[in-house]
Amino acid sequence: MSVRPARGRPRKFDKEEVLQKILKEFWIKGFAATSLDDLSAATGLTRPSLYAAYGNKTQMYLAALRSFVGQMSDNAMPALSGAGDLQSALEGFYQGALNVYFGTRKQALGCLVFTTAIADVASDTQIKKAVSGFVEGLDAALAQCIHSHGPHLEAAQTHSLARHASGMLMNLATRARAGAKRDALDELAASSAALIAQAAVTQQGD
C-alpha cells in the first residue's frame, strides 16, 4: 500500500511587509502596467498565495492605496493641527508629503494617488471611488486647518483656499515624479504656503 507524502504547510509571511512590496511595484509602474507576474516576482509569492492573502489585482491595488494614504496621514497631516500659524502648518504639511514622495530615494516616486491612480479612474469605478475619497478627505483636512487659522473667512473662501492648497500638493507630486530635486521642491512648498497664508489674511479683511 502506498503512503501519500504529507503536505507541507504553506509558507508563512508577513502580510504588511509583503504589502509594502506590492505598494512599491504599483508605485513604480502604476496599476495597468503592473502584471501579476511582476507582483509575484517582487514578493516571492505565487499567484494563488497572493490571491488568498489580498484578493485580485484590483483589491491588491486598493490595499496598496490605503497603505499609502496611511503613510501620508502619518507624515503630513499632523502638521495641519500643530501649533503655529497657517504658513507653518501648510509648509509642514508639504514637507511631510515630500518625505513620503522621496523616502530614502534620490529619485522621488511622487504620489501613488496623483501620479498613478488618477490614470485609471476613467476605467475602474473602485479606483475612482478611492481617489475621490482621498481628494475629498484632503480638501476637508486643509479646509479645517485654514478655518482654524482664519475663523472669520467665509465658507466659500475657506474651501477655495483649501482647493488651492491641495492643488499645490498635486503640483509637488507631479514635479517630484518628473525628477525635480528636493531642494527646489522645498523652496516651492515654502513659497506656496506663504502665498496661501497671505491670501487668507487678505481675504479676512474683505
Residue 122, helix vs strand vs coil? coil
Average pLDDT over residues 106-119: 92
Q: Is residue 44 domain-resident?
A: no
- Pair 21, 43: CB distance under 8 Å: yes
Q: Is residue 109 domain-resident?
A: yes
- Confidence band, pLDDT 50/70/90 cuts, at residue 205: low
- Pair 54, 22: CB distance under 8 Å: yes
Res. 199: pLDDT tops 80 = yes
**pLDDT reported for residue 83:** 78
Cell of 18: 509583503
Say which amino acid occupies 152: H
Mean pLDDT taken over the chain: 92
**Residues present in the chain in total:** 206
**pLDDT reported for residue 9:** 45
Q: What are φ and ψ of residue 168, in 5° steps?
A: -65, -35
Q: Is residue 175 domain-resident?
A: yes
**pLDDT reported for residue 106:** 78
Closest-CA residue to 100 (of 26, 39, 27, 178): 27
The per-residue pLDDT for range 50-109, each reduced to its tens digit, is 999 999 999 999 999 999 999 999 999 999 998 789 999 999 999 999 999 999 887 899
Q: Is residue 52 domain-resident?
A: no
Res. 6: pLDDT tops 50 = no
Residue 185's domain is classified under what CATH number? 1.10.357.10
The per-residue pLDDT for range 10-48, each reduced to its tens digit, is 557 799 999 999 999 999 999 999 999 999 999 999 999
Residue 123, helix vs strand vs coil? coil
Q: Is residue 50 domain-resident?
A: no
Q: Is residue 32 domain-resident?
A: no
Res. 2: pLDDT tops 50 = no
**pLDDT reported for residue 105:** 82
- Pair 89, 149: CB distance under 8 Å: yes
The count of domains in the chain is: 1
Q: Is residue 21 domain-resident?
A: no
Domain that holds residue 166: 68-204
Q: What percent of the chain has pLDDT over 70?
A: 93
- Give the whole-angstrom CA distance, residue 102 versus residue 138: 20
- Confidence band, pLDDT 50/70/90 cuts, at residue 206: low
- Give the whole-angstrom CA distance, residue 35 versus residue 22: 11
**pLDDT reported for residue 12:** 76
Res. 116: pLDDT tops 70 = yes
Closest-CA residue to 170 (of 69, 106, 94, 92): 94
- Confidence band, pLDDT 50/70/90 cuts, at residue 1: very low
- Give the whole-angstrom CA distance, residue 68 versus residue 177: 16
CA distances to 18, 61, 62, 119, 164 from 113, rounded to whole Å, are 20, 11, 11, 9, 17
Name the DSSP letter for residue 111: -
